[in-house]
Amino acid sequence: MVHPPVHTPHEVLPARDRDAEITGWALAAGLGDERAAERFVDATYDDVRRFVAHLTADARGAEDLAQETYLRALPSLRRFAGRSCARSWLLAIARRVVVDRYRRASARPRIADTADWLGAADRAQPRQLPGFEESVALADALRALEPGRRRAFVLTCVMGLSYAEAAQVLDCPVGTIRSRVARARRDLAEIWRGPAADGGRAPLPAAA
């Protein structure tokens, strides 16, 4: 079992430097460095848990999905060549874990309450997840977005991935990510146009 990290104060690095550091730990872990493996998990665990919770709308079940992600990822580190950022590589595995979980569930119709498990997960947006501190209003607005736009927006504008990294996670062209993020920002502006008249509009997150 992978233990959730116990955070300790550390120097905050720029995103690019931090990703390079994480990728370095992943490469070292692939060569058998156990301490590097621990640092890799510690640096990425919150992102994985938050990402799967967003996809499944199940904050409590996210812990199990995060565990499953690392059970798949850690043995595969020896094949990770560092041609991409290790964090985006890991989130791509997390996405496959979620897809596989819903495919298994959809194969058991006696306990399924909907025929479209994955679609239901993509359309649902949980409230008050770690990292979604902007407000409940932002969570509600994200829930209203088309699923593809929401995923692209969350990966880039909330989790801080580059367009290229988000494209790798979602297995689509970079141009598609750019288009989805632009449309998501436009949709959010439309959603918040009403509250703005009452002075209640929350600011848009910074562009990726």
Instruction: State the 10-residue block means of pLDDT for the chain, 208 residues long.
Output: 57 71 95 96 92 78 92 95 89 88 62 44 42 50 83 82 86 94 90 59 44
Answer yes or no: are the C-beta atoms of 41 and 5 closer than 8 Å. yes
CA 110 to CA 134: how far, in whole Å?
39
Query: How many residues would you count in the chain?
Result: 208
Q: Where in the chain does DSSP place strands (E)? A: none
CB atoms within 10 A of CB 59: 17
140 Cβ contact partners less than 8 Å away, ≥ 6 residues apart: 125, 127
**pLDDT score at 146:** 87
Q: What's this model's pTM, rounded to 2 decimal places?
A: 0.62
**pLDDT score at 177:** 95
**pLDDT score at 206:** 41
**pLDDT score at 114:** 41
**pLDDT score at 37:** 96
Q: For the chain, where are the alpha helices, taking DSSP H only?
A: 15-30, 34-56, 62-76, 86-106, 117-123, 136-144, 147-153, 163-170, 174-191, 193-197
CB atoms within 10 A of CB 79: 7
CA 160 to CA 169: how far, in whole Å?
13
